[in-house]
Every structure is written in C-alpha cells, then in structure tokens.
Amino acid sequence: MYNFMFHVPTKIYFGKGQISHLEELKESGRSVLLVYGGGSIKRSGIYNTALQILKDVDLQVFELPGVEPNPRIETVRKGVTMCKNEDIDMVLAIGGGSTIDCAKVVAAGAKYDGDPWDLVLDGSLVKDALPIYTVLTLAATGSEMDCFAVISDLTKNEKWGTGSEYMKPTMSVLDPTYTYTVSPKQTAAGTADMMSHTFENYFTKQEGYLQARFCESLLETMIHYGPIALEKPDDYEARANLMWAGSHAINGLVSEGSADAWCVHPMEHELSAFYDITHGQGLAILTPVWMEYVLSEETLPRFKEYGVNVWHLDPNQDAMQIAKQAIEKTREFFFTTMKMPANLRAVGITDDRYFKKMAEKAAAGSKGSYVPLQPADIEEIYRRAL
Amino acid sequence: MYNFMFHVPTKIYFGKGQISHLEELKESGRSVLLVYGGGSIKRSGIYNTALQILKDVDLQVFELPGVEPNPRIETVRKGVTMCKNEDIDMVLAIGGGSTIDCAKVVAAGAKYDGDPWDLVLDGSLVKDALPIYTVLTLAATGSEMDCFAVISDLTKNEKWGTGSEYMKPTMSVLDPTYTYTVSPKQTAAGTADMMSHTFENYFTKQEGYLQARFCESLLETMIHYGPIALEKPDDYEARANLMWAGSHAINGLVSEGSADAWCVHPMEHELSAFYDITHGQGLAILTPVWMEYVLSEETLPRFKEYGVNVWHLDPNQDAMQIAKQAIEKTREFFFTTMKMPANLRAVGITDDRYFKKMAEKAAAGSKGSYVPLQPADIEEIYRRAL
C-alpha cells in the first residue's frame, strides 16, 4: 500500500427529505450563488423547495442557471464575475456532476485573481475557495463528495479535469428520490461513469487488497442495481444504492493507497472535447475495447479476480478464459442490459479524422497508468471502438 | 436504506513516517495533553519522535500516562482536571483504542462542567470538546476515526460506550510499522474486535446492499491478513490492511443507512466490566455462540450470504448447511488459526455467579438489535460460552 492522506470532510445528508438541512448554509454567510442546469429542477419542484429554505434563513440568492452537460469555462467565468461583483459568500449547486463541477471552479475562481481556466489546467493554483454546498440530482460523477471538477473550453477542443482540497464540498444532500425522473439514457450513462471510476482504481499495478475488495463491492452494487433502476425508475433501494456507490467510487476510499493514474477517462475526455458526446456513453464504449487491449499475461491476475469476484465466474476455469468472459460480460452489461450505444458510430462519430490528435492528448493524460499507452495504442483503441 | 448523516472529518495520514504531520497540531493552539498507556511507546521510540516534533513547533506538552487497557473513569477525571487547571488547548493520544477513548472523553470533559462519567452515560451531553489528535499503535477499535469511546468504572462493574460528533479526531496518524511489535495475543484480539464491529453491522434487519458488500470486503481482508500478521509480525501489507480495515469497520461506512443496534458488544462489555478480560478475546468467544443462537429460518439468508461471499462456500449447497459451515469456519478462524482462547474458562472465568446480573444489563444495551434477546437468552449464551 502506498502512503496516502485520506480526508473526506463533506457532511452527507442521505435520504428522503434531507434537503431541509440546507438551512445549515446560514453558517457560511448571508449570500449564496445558486448554480443549476437546464431547468429540470424547476419542473421537479426542487428549485422552489430550496429557495423557500434559503429564504427562511434570510439568505440572499443570486442565480447562475444554464450550466451545460459538459460545463464550459465561459459559464464558470460568468459565475466568478458574479461572486466577485456581488461579494457572494458561498455557492450551492443543485444538479448533477456538471453543475457541481462548474460550481466548484466558480467557488475557487472567486478567490483567485486570474482567469479561472488557469485553475482547470493546474489545480495546485487553487489556494482557497468559497464554501461549496450541493444537492445531487444525478448519480454518476461523485463530484458531490470529491475534490475534482471537469471543465471544457470547446473553442479549443479542450476538456480537462482539475482537483483541489479546497474544492471538496462542505455539505451535500443526497436524496435518491430526486433521481426517479432521470431518463434511462442518463441512468445508464451515470452507472457507466461510476463503474469507470471504479475500474480506473481497480486496474492498478500497486495492490491495495482492501481497496480492491471495496472496488468489487461497488461494482457488484452498480451491476445489481443499474438494471433495476432502468426497469423501475422509482425503485428507492436501486436509486439509493447507485447514488451512494457513485459517491464512494471517487471520494478516495478506493483510490488512496492503491491507484495509479487513470487511463480510460483521459481517452474519453478527448471524445467529449472533440464531439461533445455524453461522457458515460463514451466511457462505456471505450471500456471493453481498452480491457481487451491491455489484457496480457501480466494483467491476467487482476482480470481473473474481476471475473470471479464481480461476475462470479467459475474460478476453476482457465484464467485467460475467465478474463475474456469477464470482458464479454462487461460488454453485454453496457450494451444489452443497460441498452447503451455500443460504438462510436452509434453516438454520431463516423470518421477518424481527429483520432491522431486526440490520441496524442490522451496519452499525456494517462501517463503512469496501469498499462502505459502510446498515442498509436490509443489511436488503435479509438479505431476499434468506431 | 435508512436516512442517515455521514460525516468523517478526521484527516488520516497513512503510511510509514507519517508521524511528521504532528506538526499540524500547532494549528490548534499552544499546549497539548499527551495521553498514553503503559510505556511501550517509550521503548519503541515513538514517544521521543513525537515529543521532538511537538517541541519543534513550540508546543507545551503535559502528560497523562498510564491509561489502562479498559480505560478507567478515574484516569479520565485526572486528565480533565489537568486540562482545566492548565488551560490545555488540545489532546494527543498515542496508543491503541483504550488510550484514544480515554483522550476523547478527557477532551469532552474539559469542556463540560460536571463529572465526565455523565458523558459516558449520555453522549448527547457532550456539546464541545478540545481538538483530538491520535497516533495509532494497535489496529482494533477504530477509535482513531470514529465518534465512540468506551470507559469503565470498575468500582461499580460498569463499562459503557458513549459517542459524540465532537469526539471525532481532527487528525490521526496511521503508521502500520508501529504495529510490528504488537504481540500475537493482541494482534488476534484486535482482529477479532474489528471483525466483531463488522459483524454488528452486517447482521442487520435493514438491508443496505452496498453496506453489506463493504462488510464482506472488510471481513475478507481481516480473514486474509490476520493470520499473516500473526505469522510474520513485520509484514507491511498485512499490518496496513488490518489497520485500514479496522478504521473503516466503525467509522460509519458500513453502519450508516443500514445497521441496527449492536448485540454482541453489549454482552462482551459485561464480561470486561465484571472480569476485566481482554475485549477482543471476549468478543471472539461470544461470537460463534451468538451466531448459533440466532440462526433461524428468518436469519438464514444473511448467514448464507456470509458463508458464500466471505468464506467462499459452495452456493449450491443447502442454505442451512452453508450457514452452519460458516459459523464453524468462524470458530476455526478465531480458535485454531488465530490461536485465541476458545471459551470463558480459558480467560479465567470459571463460574456463572454474575451471569444473571450481567445478562440483565446486556439486554438493555442490545435493545433493537438484529435478533432481540431477553436476559434469559443472554444468560444462556454466557453459559454456552463457559
């Protein structure tokens, strides 16, 4: 096990009706920037509920609506300007990972003198941030309980992840009933996203035994409840388990002490940056291809464990057989059970003209990962995924 | 899944040499009460290392040595008096769970006007506490990352657990090499203690799927590495995995959203209160007896899962067979593999004269647990464990 620091200071209020705890925002000041996306929180009533609670504790509310699915730096800049001009005390994100990511960089940008894009390129520049609160409406990114944010500058085809201790939320409300209205497409994409976070930490050179077992627990939970949530969108146990698993997939529990650099996420970020596709769909498409590509005698033991412990394959079979079956199970899960688009063409990417450029950028991002890949490897993976 | 609040604010520095981070104590003031046990930290050199770091950041150090294995309220009172008289800013526990538990109640008592025993009987009376820091030297109780403390008043044969959000440590140093010198007896008892914490959360009426899987991950880790640590005391991976698993067994990860009241711990607390035996040994002795006692058609599904997922028994067997084998495996693990005393006689309890009285007290403590037990049931369990 590597040396590590583990610190998850975010207070989580989990369950039905926990939004009432937004009254605790009064502990962080008198004004709040409410950050949200396309207006679904107005249709669902969460917006009104939240506003009433904030009003009841005399908080002045400013609004930053319209955060995009792949949040743009332009929106971050707008939020930062509002925070600075109005001297806002805290941010409250109500939405999924994109909204929360945007709010995090707004909170950090409000305490930074330069352009917030600097903070996206280098998280170590974040030296302070406004307190960040979140109400989660989509189980996927884990942003509600971690230090990360992913922001895009589509004018440059750039999409980068950043992270800072200062960007960990102070408090997050996780009410699984808020995800009842999440569409089948987004439910599947969210499940794929959290599974990918877990894979990134599971397929690692440095054995962390406990962390690996925790990864398997998360994967089993996602595989068990993803299809139930798809079938029955208001199944509380399904939504609750997916939501809580999504948070733990990326809050440090399965990475600290164990993980290498990530490899599939950097590849997918280029897909989203060049084609603006749904992140979770891109991950699902790339994952089985990547698994096949890196399966070797050296990586076999972990793939075998994956097959036996997660998919409950017969451990007495030949190891390579188990590994291949496990990859096939993964493919079936995403593309048959969860009904996701199975290749890049199915999400509208029909040619390979940017693959070379994308692969070069992705290779930089995946340096030091489980199986280090060269640009030519990544280009080949994109091509096989086409 | 129940509604819950999850909050683990303790910053963990995990790994070799992480004690250097004790310099962060300077953030909490200028004076510290150093709490420790019988002097093993002096022999190991941790005491001198810590003192030097504290000195380097100009902290004034007061000392409360001699904390007992089942920490006494008298020692807590002594610490509280020192904190109040010397206006001490924070406490630093260096040791195992007993030392940390003592330090926690000292920290709370320093901010309380009455007798600290009040806080042991009712954690809700704790409204504030001095900042608590710990350096862990024994993987067992998980006190380094939770809100609980167990304190005894042997003048009254009383041993009670208490808990408060204010008693969660600010920061804990977990250096697995500090546990290399832990004796086989204590290594086994510590492993049994953390397994029992996990069992208390695993055997529960309210299904928390993810939490149950996490429990299995913890149990597998403890069962895998307990014997290795016994065999090879300086095996880093074994000590590291046990240490980190012990923390997660009780910090809320596997209890929040899922668990009922505990049942075996209250029974064991009476053994320790009346006979001052080693807590982990008492738990190991009671656990298989308790398992057999509560195994029924109703509890069968969870016992079957325990057998299949933790002990990897053949799932195609008859469920009751699997359950009984799993209990037998548990018994073998504690008493053969980990070489622990297998019954109460082996720890010096040779008569049943207090059983009735103990059972009455334990029944109060286990109210609302997995299988609610009456005093007569508990008396019978003690008797079978004799």
Q: Across the interface, which of B6, B16, B241 has its CB nearest the CB of A209?
A: B241
In the predicted model, what is the mean pLDDT of residues B130-142? 97
Nearest CA in chain B to A7: B11
Give me the pLDDT at residue B276, please: 87
Q: Across the interface, which of B15, B210, B240 has its CB nearest the CB of A221?
A: B210
| Average pLDDT per 10 consecutive residues for chain A, totaling 386 residues | 96 98 98 95 96 98 95 97 98 97 98 98 98 97 97 90 97 98 97 98 91 98 98 98 98 91 93 91 98 97 97 96 98 98 97 96 89 96 97
DSSP summary character for residue A133: E
Q: Is A9 in contact with B9 (CB distance < 8 Å)?
A: yes
* Amino acid type, A90: M
Do residue A237 and residue B14 have CB atoms under 8 angstroms apart? no
Give me the pLDDT at residue B207, please: 78
Tens of pLDDT, residues B150-174: 999 989 988 899 999 999 999 999 9
Give me the pLDDT at residue A260, please: 81
B1 to chain A: which residues are within 8 Å by CB?
14-15, 176, 236-237, 240-241, 244
Give me the pLDDT at residue A367, please: 84
Q: Which residues of B touch A (CB under 8 A)?
A: 1-18, 176, 207-210, 213-214, 216-218, 220-221, 224-225, 236-237, 240-241, 244-245, 248, 253, 256-257
Do residue B237 and residue A207 have CB atoms under 8 angstroms apart? yes
For residue A384, give both structure tokens: 């096989």
Tens of pLDDT, residues B37-52: 988 999 999 999 999 9
Do residue B12 and residue A15 have CB atoms under 8 angstroms apart? no
Do residue A1 and residue B257 have CB atoms under 8 angstroms apart? no
State the count of interchain CB pairs (< 8 A) between A and B: 113
Which of A243, A225, A235 is closest to A18 using CA atoms? A243
Q: Across the interface, which of B5, B210, B240 has its CB nearest the CB of A12?
A: B5
B6 to chain A: which residues are within 8 Å by CB?
11-12, 14
B216 to chain A: which residues are within 8 Å by CB?
213, 217
B246: confidence class by pLDDT, cuts 50, 70, 90: very high
Do residue B13 and residue A1 have CB atoms under 8 angstroms apart? no
A248 to chain B: which residues are within 8 Å by CB?
210
Q: How far does B180 lie from chain A, in Å, by closest CA?
A: 16
B195: confidence class by pLDDT, cuts 50, 70, 90: very high
Task: Give the position of tokens 């939020």.
Answer: A79
- CATH 1.20.1090.10, domain A182-385, yes or no: yes
Do residue A256 and residue B14 have CB atoms under 8 angstroms apart? yes
A241 to chain B: which residues are within 8 Å by CB?
1, 208-210
Give chain B's mean pLDDT. 96
B176 to chain A: which residues are within 8 Å by CB?
1
Task: Report percent pLDDT > 90 for chain B.
Answer: 93
Q: How far does B6 lie from chain A, in Å, by closest CA?
A: 5
Q: Across the interface, which of B7, B221, B241 has its CB nearest the CB of A11?
A: B7
Q: Across the interface, which of B1, B5, B244 has its CB nearest the CB of A11?
A: B5
Q: Across the interface, which of B1, B12, B237 has its CB nearest the CB of A240?
A: B1
Q: How far does B10 lie from chain A, in Å, by closest CA?
A: 7
Give me the pLDDT at residue B260, please: 81
Nearest CA in chain B to A171: B7
Task: Annotate chain B with three-state secondary structure.
Answer: CCCEEEEEEEEEEECCCHHHHHHHHHHHCCEEEEEECCCHHHHHCHHHHHHHHHHHCCCEEEEECCCCCCCEHHHHHHHHHHHHHHCCCEEEEEECHHHHHHHHHHHHHCCCCCCCHHHHHCHHHCCCCCCEEEEECCCCCCHHHCCEEEEEECCCCEEEEEECHHHCCCEEEECHHHHCCCCHHHHHHHHHHHHHHHHHHHCCCCCCHHHHHHHHHHHHHHHHHHHHHHHCCCCHHHHHHHHHHHHHCCCCCCCCCCCCECCHHHHHHHHHHHHCCCHHHHHHHHHHHHHHHHCCCCCHHHHHHHHHHHCCCCCCCCHHHHHHHHHHHHHHHHHHHCCCCCCHHHHCCCCCCCHHHHHHHHHHHCCCECCCCCHHHHHHHHHHHC
Q: Which CATH number fits domain A11-178: 3.40.50.1970, 3.40.50.720, 1.20.1250.20, 3.30.70.520?
A: 3.40.50.1970
Q: How far does B209 lie from chain A, in Å, by closest CA?
A: 7
Do residue B11 and residue A1 have CB atoms under 8 angstroms apart? no
Nearest CA in chain A to B18: A3
Which of B310, B140, B284, B136 is closest to B220 using CA atoms? B310
Q: Which region among A257-271, B61-75, B281-295 has the lowest average model confidence (pLDDT)?
A: A257-271
- Is the per-residue pLDDT at B31 higher than 90? yes
Q: With the C-alpha atoms ordered A260, A261, A267, A269, is the resulting torsion angle positive or negative?
A: positive
B261: confidence class by pLDDT, cuts 50, 70, 90: confident
Give me the pLDDT at residue A113, please: 97
Do residue A14 and residue B3 have CB atoms under 8 angstroms apart? yes
Do residue B4 and residue A15 have CB atoms under 8 angstroms apart? yes
Interface probe, candidates A136, A206, A242, A244, chain B, greatest B C-beta count within 10 A: A244
Q: How far does A164 lie from chain B, in Å, by closest CA?
A: 15
Task: Report percent pLDDT > 70 for chain B.
Answer: 100
Q: How far does A54 lie from chain B, in Å, by closest CA?
A: 20
Tens of pLDDT, residues A77-119: 999 999 999 999 999 999 999 999 999 999 999 999 999 999 9
Q: How far does B138 lie from chain A, in Å, by closest CA?
A: 18
B368: confidence class by pLDDT, cuts 50, 70, 90: confident
Interface probe, candidates B6, B165, B223, B247, chain A, greatest A C-beta count within 10 A: B6
CATH topology of A11-178 equal to that of A182-385?
no
Do residue B217 and residue A221 have CB atoms under 8 angstroms apart? no
Do residue B237 and residue A12 have CB atoms under 8 angstroms apart? no
Q: How far does B248 lie from chain A, in Å, by closest CA?
A: 10
Nearest CA in chain A to B168: A9
Which residues, including other chains, have CB under 8 Å from residue B311's CB and lie 6 or more apart? B325, B326, B329
Do residue A244 and residue B1 have CB atoms under 8 angstroms apart? yes
Quote the strand ranges of chain A, DSSP E: 4-14, 31-35, 60-64, 90-95, 132-136, 148-153, 158-163, 171-174
Q: Across the interface, which of B8, B16, B224 has its CB nearest the CB of A3?
A: B16
Do residue A1 and residue B224 have CB atoms under 8 angstroms apart? no
Nearest CA in chain A to B252: A12
A22 to chain B: which residues are within 8 Å by CB?
none
Q: How far does A175 lie from chain B, in Å, by closest CA?
A: 9
User: How is chain B split into domains, by residue range?
Assistant: 11-178, 182-385
Q: How far does A351 lie from chain B, in Å, by closest CA?
A: 41
Give me the pLDDT at residue B355, please: 97
ipTM of the complex: 0.96
Do residue A213 and residue B207 have CB atoms under 8 angstroms apart? no
CA dihedral B259, B265, B270, B273 (to 10 degrees): -120
